[in-house]
Amino acid sequence: MLMRTDPFRDLDRLAQQLTGPGTWSRPSPMPMDAYREGDAYVVAFDLPGVGSDAIDIDVERNMLTVRAERRPAAKADDVQMDLSERPLGVFSRQIVLADTLDIERIRADYDAGVLTLRIPIAERAKPRKISIGVGSGRKEVPG
């Protein structure tokens, strides 16, 4: 038997029981981090216990959608569950991507329960120097 000492965990559990697990029509949110690293924008989603085959990533126009489903683990008939706090169901997150990102070259990696998307900054959005032409040979005409 497991013993718990975190008093707020009961409140989290109660909230999940009231709202129920995420469904495809009303998914639960998933935690994420987003930051710029060099010439790419990186977005990392926490999806522990989710198989890579249960993750779906879509981009339509500039809307990125990540959906994942954590399914219950298969258990033998004689297993008696004493404690179940890991949320099951469908999780989803939508992010509006800026026009400065190259959505054609998004790379996705999944390791240790973290889905990491790397979205390159578009070439047209990178800073560049503009050269100034000098002495074009133009003559001023008096007015």
CA distance 20 to 45: 21
3-class secondary structure, 143: coil
Q: What pLDDT score does 1 carry? A: 38
Tokens of 116: 């990491």
Beta 55-60 vs 63-70: how paired, if at all?
antiparallel
Overall size of the chain counted in residues: 143
pLDDT-flagged residues of the chain (< 70): 1-27, 125-126, 136-143
Q: What pLDDT score does 128 carry? A: 74
For 55-68, how does the pLDDT look when each residue is reduced to its tens digit (9 = 90+)? Answer: 999 999 889 999 99
Q: What pLDDT score does 102 carry? A: 92
Residue type, 92: S
81 burial level (CB within 10 Å; 0-12, 13-18, 19+): exposed
Q: What pLDDT score does 80 carry? A: 83
Whole-model pTM: value is: 0.68
- 22-25 own/partner pairs: CB under 8 Å, 24+ apart: 22/87, 22/89, 22/90, 22/91, 22/92, 23/89, 23/90, 24/67, 24/90
For 129-143, how does the pLDDT look when each residue is reduced to its tens digit (9 = 90+)? Answer: 788 888 765 555 565
Domains of the chain: 23-74+85-123 (2.60.40.790)
Q: What pLDDT score does 26 carry? A: 60
